A and B are shown apart, each in its own frame.
Chain A
Amino acid sequence: MKIWTVANQKGGVGKTTTVVSLAGALVKQGKRVLVIDTDPHASLGYYLGIDSEEIPASLYNLFVEHQSLTESKIQAHIVPTSVDHLDLLPAAMALATIDRQLGHEDGMGLVLRNIIDNVSSSYDYAIIDCPPVLGVLMVNALAACEQVLIPVQTEFLALKGLDRMIKTLKLMDRTQQQQHRFIVIPTMFDKRTKASPLALRELQQSYSDHLWNGLIPIDTKFRDASLAHTPVSHCAPNSRGSVAYRRLLQFLDSERGVS
């Protein structure tokens, strides 16, 4: 099972779109995918047409009951989506209280890893959507994954957020005595603007070792897809956005992507 975390400490950079689009592209290849929403805003669930406040249980309950997790209990919290082979472990707003409730406890950063371990035989991929806040949930998402995908909107303010995210990863590496693999993904690229090419150049100069050699363009099909509660790969498979995520997936699954 491959585990990817999509993270950036800046909001609105395309994290949820990246999670859903990659998941969509994977299920089109016949893979079984679990997407995990760790953001209390629960945008991933809303994107997939699942209102987290309407369902009886969520990731929050698993955190609260982290000392008695079993595979069947975890499976009971996972909900199927309208897309075949794509399941969701949903968030709930109550997750916003996790830092206060459980942030004092040793080992609370390893709960999600434990959850995923328990269901690893049921899925080929797990993709984790992260909140834009450094706290217990983000630490869990980073500790659970093999690879971190950092979508960065191609504009200057977003580059600042990228510095912060990479600093966080380095500090975490220092703690865990390991090195996170991370890939920077330029998103919302709009060639008609001045800012996008300039920001892309800046990314190429500063992060060449970790930068994906492609980009995710601005595409209205992403909006259409979210309105239809389906991945862009299912809603508009030949759109520029969908093609771009397929390329990204190819890269991530290649040797270069995982090295």
Chain B
Amino acid sequence: MTEHSDIAVVDFFSRLLKEPQSSGPVEKPKVLVKEAELTLSAEQVGLQQLLSKVSAFDEKDEPPKEPSSPFTSSKSKPEIIVSDSTAKETETAADIGSEKSFLHQRLEGEFQALFFKVAGLTLAVPLVELGGIIHEVRVTHLPGQPTWIKGVMTHRDQKINVVDTAAWVMPEKYDANLQKQVDYRYVVLLQNSQWGLACEELLDAESINKEQVNWRVNTAKRPWLAGLVKKQMCGILDVGALIEQLSSQGHIAG
């Protein structure tokens, strides 16, 4: 460590080891905010197949004709798709997203990511963009909300809108049968927003080097999908972009 980094470490220690003077409420950490949404399919295909599919999407102004769902596509191979509902919003999200930095620009060379699973789909979220994890999904369903909102719950005195992630990412595949199978056990909180993604399984938290991700260059059509983690063969989410799209479609301030 250099003298400079020593000072940073000592500063870090000083803050953490400061004896509390009062037990009043503590200011919440600040958030970086970004926006948009997500979707991708998941059985494990060859990496090249998956990557070329993404590249092909990115190279065109218009996305290829989307299958109604990743699971009902006429092609048998899995692919990254945008759900009908989200596609409607992509222009708005893209417009906003173009003024923001890309996820790979915000991350350090090496960063930690949490991998989680929903309905057979693995997704990764950089820990720096994560607000926390709730170990239960106890929601109250409110009438009049989009079907992809599972409900609301209170966490640390804050209202959290819990996204039915499977319904959001694969709306047409998400029939009553799949709905019965999906067993949500956790909520992955997105930054300090009012949004959380319901998920079934937390897989691991791992360090990733930026070079281990195939970053998408043109994210105009799918700002939420920052890239693909090569080793785990899964999408990595731009949480800020996701929040913006959820807020926009859920008509709720994120």
Instruction: Report if A93-B133 is in contact (Cβ < 8 Å); known contacts: A106-B18, A174-B10.
Output: yes
Q: Which of A56, A94, A174 has the most chain B CB within a 10 Å cutoff?
A: A94
Q: In the bound complex, do residue A176 and residue B17 qualify as a contact, i.e. CB atoms below 8 Å apart?
A: yes
Q: How far is the CB of B42 from chain A (nearest CB, A)?
A: 20
Q: Which residue of A lies closest to B28 (CB)?
A: A104
Q: In the bound complex, do residue B16 and residue A107 qualify as a contact, i.e. CB atoms below 8 Å apart?
A: yes
| Set of chain A residues within 8 Å of B136, measured between Cβ atoms | 56
Instruction: Report if A94-B20 is in contact (Cβ < 8 Å); known contacts: A40-B205, A171-B13.
Output: no
The CA-CA distance from A139 to B16 in the complex, in Å, is: 8
Q: How far is the CB of A65 from chain B (nearest CB, A)?
A: 9
Q: In the bound complex, do residue B132 and residue A94 qualify as a contact, i.e. CB atoms below 8 Å apart?
A: yes
- The yes or no answer to A167 lying at the interface (CB within 8 A) is yes
Q: A94's contact among B10, B16, B135, B156, by CB below 8 Å, is which?
A: B135
Q: Please classify the interface of chain B as helix (H, G, I), strand (E, B), loop, or mixed, using the class held by over half of its residues.
A: mixed
- The yes or no answer to A227 lying at the interface (CB within 8 A) is no
Q: How far is the CB of B186 from chain A (nearest CB, A)?
A: 8
Q: Which residue of A lies closest to B156 (CB)?
A: A64
- A-B pairs with beta carbons under 8 A, tally: 102
| Set of chain B residues within 8 Å of A167, measured between Cβ atoms | 1
The proximity string for A residues 66-110 relative to B, scoring 1 for CB distances below 8 Å and 0 otherwise, is 010000000000000000000000001110110111111111111
- The yes or no answer to B26 lying at the interface (CB within 8 A) is yes
- The yes or no answer to A36 lying at the interface (CB within 8 A) is no
Q: B13's contact among A41, A57, A175, by CB below 8 Å, is which?
A: A175
The proximity string for B residues 1-14 relative to A, scoring 1 for CB distances below 8 Å and 0 otherwise, is 10000100110111
Query: How many chain-A residues does the 8 Å CB contact rule pick out?
Result: 39
- The yes or no answer to A248 lying at the interface (CB within 8 A) is no
Q: B205's contact among A57, A93, A101, by CB below 8 Å, is which?
A: A93
The CA-CA distance from A106 to B16 in the complex, in Å, is: 5
| Set of chain B residues within 8 Å of A56, measured between Cβ atoms | 135-136
Q: How far is the CB of B28 from chain A (nearest CB, A)?
A: 8
Instruction: Report if A134-B9 is in contact (Cβ < 8 Å); known contacts: A93-B205, A139-B16, A139-B17.
Output: yes
Q: In the bound complex, do residue A107 and residue B20 qualify as a contact, i.e. CB atoms below 8 Å apart?
A: yes
Q: In the bound complex, do residue A107 and residue B13 qualify as a contact, i.e. CB atoms below 8 Å apart?
A: no
- Which positions 162-192 of chain A face chain B at CB distance < 8 Å? 167-168, 171-172, 174-176
Q: In the bound complex, do residue A100 and residue B29 qualify as a contact, i.e. CB atoms below 8 Å apart?
A: yes
- The yes or no answer to B62 lying at the interface (CB within 8 A) is no
- Which positions 31-88 of chain B face chain A at CB distance < 8 Å? none
Instruction: Report if A93-B204 is in contact (Cβ < 8 Å); known contacts: A64-B156, A109-B13.
Output: yes
- The yes or no answer to A61 lying at the interface (CB within 8 A) is yes
The CA-CA distance from A61 to B134 in the complex, in Å, is: 9
Q: B15's contact among A93, A97, A106, A172, by CB below 8 Å, is which?
A: A106
Q: How far is the CB of B15 from chain A (nearest CB, A)?
A: 6
Q: A97's contact among B9, B20, B114, B156, by CB below 8 Å, is which?
A: B114
- The yes or no answer to A23 lying at the interface (CB within 8 A) is no
Q: In the bound complex, do residue A172 and residue B127 qualify as a contact, i.e. CB atoms below 8 Å apart?
A: no
Q: In the bound complex, do residue A100 and residue B127 qualify as a contact, i.e. CB atoms below 8 Å apart?
A: yes
| Set of chain A residues within 8 Å of B175, measured between Cβ atoms | none
- The yes or no answer to B23 lying at the interface (CB within 8 A) is yes
Q: A101's contact among B6, B17, B112, B131, by CB below 8 Å, is which?
A: B131
The CA-CA distance from A206 to B93 in the complex, in Å, is: 58
Q: In the bound complex, do residue B10 and residue A171 qualify as a contact, i.e. CB atoms below 8 Å apart?
A: yes
The CA-CA distance from A143 to B12 in the complex, in Å, is: 13
For the complex of A and B, list the 10 residue pairs with the smallest distance between their C-beta atoms, beginning with the closest.
A109-B16, A94-B133, A96-B205, A175-B13, A107-B20, A104-B29, A106-B18, A109-B17, A93-B202, A105-B26
16 examples of A-B residue contacts, CB within 8 angstroms: A53-B185, A53-B201, A58-B135, A64-B132, A93-B133, A93-B204, A97-B127, A97-B133, A106-B20, A106-B26, A107-B16, A108-B16, A167-B1, A172-B13, A175-B17, A176-B13
Query: A-side interface residues toward B, CB under 8 Å?
Result: 40-41, 53, 56-58, 60-61, 64, 67, 92-94, 96-97, 99-110, 134, 136, 139-140, 143, 167-168, 171-172, 174-176
Known A104-B27, A104-B29, A107-B17; further 19 A-B contacts with Cβ < 8 A: A60-B135, A61-B135, A64-B132, A93-B114, A93-B202, A93-B204, A93-B205, A99-B127, A102-B29, A105-B26, A106-B16, A106-B26, A107-B16, A110-B17, A110-B20, A139-B17, A171-B9, A175-B17, A176-B13
